[in-house]
Structure 1
Amino acid sequence: MPTFAHSTQRFSDRVADYVKFRPTYPREVVAFLRDGCGLDQGARVADIGAGTGISSKLFLDEGHPVVAVEPNDAMRASADAWLRPYDGYSSVAGTAEATTLDDASVDLVIAAQAFHWFDPVNARREFARILKPRGLVMLMWNSRLLEGSPFLSGYEALLQRYGTDYQAVAERYGDDASMAAWFGDAFVHKGHFPNAQLLDFDGLRGRLMSSSYAPKAGHPNHEPMLVALRELFDRTAHDGMVEFTYQTRVYVGHATA
């Protein structure tokens, strides 16, 4: 598996696009945890690699206190500015392997769109330390569909052609087999939920530029990529919009040290 130096800083110069253009997660995820996995209402949540707070907000809106653990200063500051009005919100500068949280202090650990940046062995040990007995871990990804429409297949081809380390990043995303292996006998449930964004061209451009593998201005692939994106949009948009379609994949279990 490839290594990614300074992975905690990969999004420092993409915060504004991340805040505006990244998708949220379906509310059904929280219902799935409560109804299918036994999560109590009001259970305390640690959102590991919380980023700009998109996943934290999902649980705050459902009445759960959340501590956002995020090592990137710019992303954590964005989350703080957005979520400060929630009484149950707090944040710390920490990593998946060293959260700074107390032993047995949370009921649920979540990682949304972040687990593939963690050291899996040391993260599992840290999750086991901060969770209360029989506490749960939920790992979640919004997985973009790679085909199913001319836009989706065209967008995938664009990333393959112009992305910097796109393929290497994509290969790190958890799938059913790798998640079952990580949880082992502590694997409890998995769930899949439909999710989508409707984007105009500015939204599509921002969504692309929120990705760590999209070349920034000054890179030789940047301008050709944007030209190709415009051509793709003009060819596939309906009523000035394209549908960015996802499957939200959720894996739930317990952490063992």
Structure 2
Amino acid sequence: MSNTEKFSGKAEIYARFRPDYPEAMIRDLISENNLDQASVVADIGSGTGILTAQLVEHGLTVKAVEPNTDMRHVAESSLRMNPLFTSVAGTAEQTTLQNQSTDLITVAQAFHWFDPVTFKKECGRILKSWGQVVLIWNSRVPDAPLIQESETICKQFCPDFNGFSGGLDSISSRFKTFFQDGKYQFKTYDHPLYYNLEDFIGRHLSASYAPKKSASNYQPYIGALTELFQKHSQNGMVPFPNETRCYSGHV
């Protein structure tokens, strides 16, 4: 299965259970990149439009580039009436956007799926000379007991599991190679999440590696997650340690 098809059939659950991004991060993106109503942002690997929606809410024109049809259609159904939103059927490596047409490129929860060398060339083609690329992840806090135990469950029941976000959002060497002269800015934002049982399970099922209902490991996976939730929950809710990580720079 190609990377562009890994979320086929999961778009609805992804849109419902994946978290948004901190408002402080959005404000920083706008101020640090001198964005205004005339600016164009390319949101690459835009998925169901979670970050895209936050950007257009702040008055930015966004070209949402997404190769997966299911994911793209969910974004279109919720944002198509907004004149600042344009849906683009393209890949990170071939966005189809015009040369030097973009003031900023954002990539949320998606860089680990890209070919970084080809994507870097594409960024250089579509960005204006001053434009930057911002790579963003909502990342589980790795030393939290809940996260460590959920990782053990994923390793047991999800054959395709290779670490959360493919383990990439903590590998600095990949960023040094991607950004110009190995220079980039790294910022973190506290973004704790709180889930009831349905949301907790839904968040885990939205992952590319999570088994689908037809799989033999689906029910055992749900059972293990339910036990984990019950172990850590209080008053029907569980805190889900999370922070938002941003890596930004020129390419």
TM-score w.r.t. length of structure 2: 0.93
Q: Equivalent residue for 1:136?
A: 132
Q: Equivalent residue for 1:164?
A: 159
Question: 1:98-129: CA deviations, max 9, x gaps?
Answer: 00100011100111000110110110100110
Residue type of the partner of 1:158?
I
Q: Equivalent residue for 2:177?
A: 181
Q: Does 1:201 align with 2:194?
A: no
Q: Equivalent residue for 1:227?
A: 223
Question: 1:191-245: CA deviations, max 9, x gaps?
Answer: 1011122111111111111011111123232111111111111111111011222
Q: Equivalent residue for 2:73?
A: 77
Q: Is the 8 A contact 1:23 1:196 kept in 2?
A: no
Question: 1:145-187: CA deviations, max 9, x gaps?
Answer: 23324x3332122112112211266234453332123104263
d(CA) in 1 for partners of 2:170, 2:128: 25
Residue type of the partner of 2:13?
D
Q: 4+ residue runs of structure 1 moved beyond 6 angstroms?
A: none
After superposition, the CA RMSD in angstroms is: 1.6
Task: Tell me how many residue pairs correspond in the alignment.
Answer: 249
d(CA) in 2 for partners of 1:90, 1:184: 29
Structure 2 counterpart of 1:13, from 1, 6, 9? 9
Residue type of the partner of 1:145?
V
Moved more, 241-250 or 98-107: 241-250
Q: Is the 8 A contact 1:110 1:137 kept in 2?
A: yes
Q: CA deviation at 1:135?
A: 0.9
Q: CA deviation at 1:85?
A: 2.9
TM-score w.r.t. length of structure 1: 0.91
d(CA) in 2 for partners of 1:72, 1:34: 27
Structure 2 counterpart of 1:46, from 42, 45, 48? 42
Q: Equivalent residue for 2:148?
A: 153
Structure 2 counterpart of 1:59, from 39, 55, 60? 55
Q: Using a 3 Å threshold, how does the CA distance of structure 1 residues 186 and 44 change in structure 2: closer, same or farther?
A: farther
Q: Using a 3 Å threshold, how does the CA distance of structure 1 residues 146 and 160 change in structure 2: closer, same or farther?
A: farther
Q: CA deviation at 1:188?
A: 3.8
Q: Is the 8 A contact 1:186 1:253 kept in 2?
A: no
